[in-house]
Structures are given as C-alpha cells and as structure tokens.
Amino acid sequence: MHLIAKEFKSGLKPFLFWTLGLFVLIFAGIVKSMGAMAEGQFMTELIGRFPRIVIAVMGMLNVDISSFGGYYAVLMQYIFVLAAVYASHLGSSAVSRESIDRTYEFLFTKPRSRSFILAHKMLATMAFLTAFSSLNFVFSLLAVKQLTLQGDYSGVFARFSLAIWLVGIVFFSLSAMFAASFRAAEHGARAGNLAVLGAYAIAVGYDLVEQPGLLRLVTPFRYFLQTELITGAVSPLYAGLCLLLSAALLAVAFARFERRDLGAL
C-alpha cells in the first residue's frame, strides 16, 4: 500500500496541472456557450458551406453548435486530446519512472514480483485518470449551473466523461506498452506522444472521407462519435473494444516488463 501512496504523492503535481487546464477550459467554454449559441444557427449554416476538410480540421463535423449539446461536443474535442496526452504521460511514467530516477534497484529488489509492483503503480496512476474523467463530469455540472438552460444535461456529461475515460485507458495502456518495450525511457514516452498525435490526425482523416469504414477502428478518438454521445448512449460495442484493447496492451506491457533488463534509461 506504501507503493500506491507514494505513487499518488509523486503524481499529484502533474495531476493538478492537468486538472487546472480541464477546469479552465470547461468553465470558460460552458459559461461562454450562451453567446456562441445565439449565433449558433448562423455559424452552423456558415460552417456547413465550408469544404469538408476545413470542418474536419475544426472538429465540427456533424455537430449543431446552435444546441448546447453540439457546442459541448466541440468543447469536448479538446478535452479528449487533453485526456489522451495526460493518459499517455501517466502510462509511460508508471512504467519507467524508476528507470529515469535510477532508483529501480531499490524498488525491484524488494520481495515482490515486478508485475505486482507495476500493477500497484498502475492502479494508482489509473486512479488519476479516473479522477480526471470524473472531474470532467463534476466541472461540467457546476459550470452549466451558471447558465439558465432548459433540460437536464447530466446524462450527456456522464456519457462524455465515460467516453473520455475509455479512450484515456487505451492511450494509457498503449503508452505503458511502449514504455515497457523501448529500452530508453525517453523513446517510450516519445512513442506514446506521437501515437496521440497520429491518432488525432487519423481522426481528422476519418471525418474527411465520406465512407471511413474500418478507419474508425484505428483511432480511439472516433470510437465514440459526438452525435452518438449527445443523443444516444456510449456504444457498448466500442466500450467493450476499449476495455479489450487496453487489456491486451497491458498484457503485452506486463509481459515485456517482466522480461526486460532493468537499467537506467
């Protein structure tokens, strides 16, 4: 349990940093949504005339920003990326923190298996991701109270927050896998960051083409489409995929980590 407590302590500062970003974006975004929605119909029509690629790059495809749900979905685009970058950071640091600090000899000579130690570290870092997604829900609820909106949006907020968590754990696991596979910690972290950027580029590409087909499977950013999250539910199929994918990636991460040579870098 010491292990988890220590991991909490060392992860607290970055967590506060990312949470601050989340807080600022959500409050500013939601509080200002009234003004944007007033011009929303005009903007939606205007944007509708733009070429598809421009809309795709802006992340506004298929959303109606004259409704609060549509506006929120655009805002969430940023949060998805933010969460993915943070999750990737969490995943790689859970695996390689000791290698970077050169304290691995201290930790991994204790009478516990590497998997035991890594699992506990991951449990702690995963808690940060969970807290981040939950705070997304809480901040959204608090912010929307400042507005005089009709209707109950807690369902929308909950669905988006859950989707953020699900996408987050995929990037978390992917980065953990990279960190366990590369010898140099810096290379693992870089691969994780590049994966997030690459996935975002593919997401734009997904929006770009009329019939994306299997492209959706390649980028977690499109597992949960904005339109579905606003109106429908969190797709159980893709939620399952997220969990499965994370489990598989983590399994690889654990296997590699168990077998690798521990050392500095």
Size of the site for other proteins (CB under 8 A): 38
Residue with tokens 């809309």: 55
**Nearer CB in complex with other proteins: 168/238:** 168
Structure tokens at 208: 């770009």
The answer to whether residue 82 forms part of the interface with other proteins (CB under 8 A) is yes
**Nearer CB in complex with other proteins: 51/236:** 51
The residue type at 139 = F
Give the Cβ contact number of residue 158 at 10 Å. Answer: 17
Q: What's the distance, Cα to Cα, between the start and end of the chain in Å?
A: 26
What ranges make up the beta strands (E) of 102-252?
none
Stretch that binds other proteins, among 10-18, 104-112, 158-166, 212-220 (CB under 8 A): 10-18
Residue 32 DSSP class: T
The interface with other proteins within residues 134-173 (CB under 8 A) comprises none
The answer to whether residue 97 forms part of the interface with other proteins (CB under 8 A) is yes
> Of these, 4, 8, 14, 130, which contacts other proteins (CB under 8 A)?
14
The residue type at 31 = V
The answer to whether residue 21 forms part of the interface with other proteins (CB under 8 A) is yes
The answer to whether residue 193 forms part of the interface with other proteins (CB under 8 A) is yes
Structure tokens at 111: 């009478």
Least distance between other proteins and beta carbon 20 (Å) = 9
The answer to whether residue 251 forms part of the interface with other proteins (CB under 8 A) is no
Cα distances (Å, whole numbers) of residue 161 to 133, 141, 209, 264? 5, 11, 27, 37
Query: In the complex, which residues of this chain contact other proteins (CB under 8 A)?
Result: 14, 17-18, 21, 24-25, 28-29, 32, 42, 45-46, 49-51, 53-54, 57, 78, 81-82, 85, 89, 92-93, 97, 100-102, 184-186, 189-190, 193, 263-265
